[in-house]
Amino acid sequence: MNNDELVVSVLENSNYDEVSPTLTEFVRTYIEKLVTDISLYVDSSIVVEDITTVEKYKASQELSQDITGIPSAYSAIDGEPDVLTEFAEQYSKLGIDSFDALAKEALLDFLNLHNGLFIVLLSKLNICELSLDPPRQNEYLDITTEVNGKITIIPVRFSFGVVKFLLYELPGSKTS
Amino acid sequence: MSKSDIKLLVCDDSILARKSITTMLGSFGYENVIEVSNGEDAVNKYKEEKPDIVFLDIVMPVKDGITATKEIREFDRDAKIVVISSVGTQTHLREVIKAGAKDFIQKPVDKEHLKQILDNYL
């Protein structure tokens, strides 16, 4: 199975088809590219659990990056520290074994790589030209969406646990 | 000039990216590598060290790679700058070339592409 077939299979075995009519083209493309990039650069044995949308999200740390332009969006990565640590190690192969500064660097490096490849894809498809702000980390994450705003949560299950990816397409900046 | 005489400057806010690029450069025999983590430090270090090639990321805190490219080129019109970034959109590629960079490498860095770039500009 090549990577494209793998991505199709992973998404077919999730609720992606069911929820995709409620998502914008931007969010759908983000999810498809995310699955592609995880399978290419982290682990191809993954399951996408139920994709949901929420209006608020809180976490004990913030590992995030803003996608800027029209549309603009907020992206983040979250999960249990031991799971994020293993994700960081699978991605970086640097011998990371604790949720320390290097683990957070690796997580943000993956987020930056994926977001970069995502906006390159949008550019190649002549959908839009976007940019990125530098990734950031803080001790707490507390997002409350604006009116009509929704945060899409994409939980990805690995053999070592679930990593959640968040995407909040900012209201008023939507293309579709 | 032998490889040991060649000085390279790698500028990326990601420790992982710097480590990855530096390791690749080392495998080609280039050990004299200076690392910095933002565009402002890259400009300052360039003025101090006059490296033979600069590898610059675009998205960085303090000063981005495109601004740093322009400032380094204002200081030295012959500066050899190669931008290495994940954000290789059409707009960014135009900005990179307009700023005066010699070339662009899309992340994740392909080792053979990096070697080809070094062969071209050294």
Contacts of B13 in chain A (CB under 8 A): 134
pLDDT for A108:
97
Choose, out of B62, B86, B94, B95, the residue to mutate when testing the contact with A (most A CBs < 10 Å).
B86
Query: How many Cβ pairs closer than 8 A exist between chain A and B?
Result: 56
Are the CB atoms for A67 and A130 separated by under 8 Å?
yes
Q: For position A62, what pLDDT does the model report?
A: 94
**Residue A170: predicted pLDDT:** 87
Mutation to test the B interface, candidates A36, A123, A124, A137, most B Cβ within 10 Å: A123
CB-nearest partner of A112 from B86, B88, B91? B86
Q: What's the rounded Cα separation, in Å, for the pair B72 and B51?
A: 11
* Tens of pLDDT, residues B77-110: 999 999 999 999 999 999 999 999 999 999 999 9
Q: With CB atoms and an 8 Å threshold, state whether A120 touches B86.
A: yes
Q: Is B42 exposed, middle or buried (0-12, 13-18, 19+ CB in 10 A)?
A: buried
Task: Calculate ∠ Cα A16-A21-A22, nearest 5°.
Answer: 95
pLDDT average per 10 residues of sequence, chain A (176 residues): 88 94 95 97 96 93 95 96 97 96 96 97 94 93 82 97 96 61
Q: Write the CA distances from A54 to A47, A157, B5, B54, B119, integer angstroms.
A: 21, 19, 57, 44, 51
For residues B64 and B11, is the Cβ–Cβ distance under 8 A? no
Contact partners, residue A104, CB within 8 Å, separation at least 6: A61, A63, A88, A137
CA distance B96 to chain A (A): 13
Residues from chain B contacting residue A131 (CB–CB below 8 Å) = 59, 87, 89, 91-92
Which of A82, A91, A74 has its CA nearest to residue A138? A74
Strands B81-85 and B103-106, how do they pair? parallel
CA-nearest of B113, B61, B112 to B83 is: B113
CA-CA-CA-CA torsion sign (A14, A18, A168, B84) = positive
Rounded to a whole number, what is the distance in Å from the CA of B1 to chain A's nearest CA?
Answer: 34
Q: How far is CA A52 from CA A67, B86, B121, in A?
A: 20, 28, 49
Burial class (CB in 10 A: 0-12, 13-18, 19+), B27: exposed
Q: State the total domains in chain B.
A: 1
Nearest-CB residue to A112 (from B14, B61, B88): B14
Nearest CA in chain A to B89: A120
Residues spanned by the domain of B47:
3-121
Contact between chains at A132 and B17 (C-beta distance less than 8 A): no
pLDDT attached to residue A173: 63
Query: Can you tell me the distance from the alpha carbon of B40 to that of B65, in angstroms, rounded to the nearest whole number?
Result: 9
C-alpha span between A105 and A61 (Å, rounded) = 13
Write out the two tokens for B101.
């960079």
Question: How far off is chain A from B2, nearest CA to CA, in Å?
Answer: 31
CA distance A18 to chain B (A): 31
Please give the sequence-ordered ranges of beta strands (E in DSSP) within B1-122, or none if there are none: 8-11, 33-36, 53-56, 81-85, 103-106
pLDDT digits 0-9 by tens, B1-48: 788 899 999 999 999 999 999 999 999 999 999 999 999 999 999 999
Q: What is the CATH number of the domain that holds B50?
A: 3.40.50.2300
The pTM for the full model equals 0.93
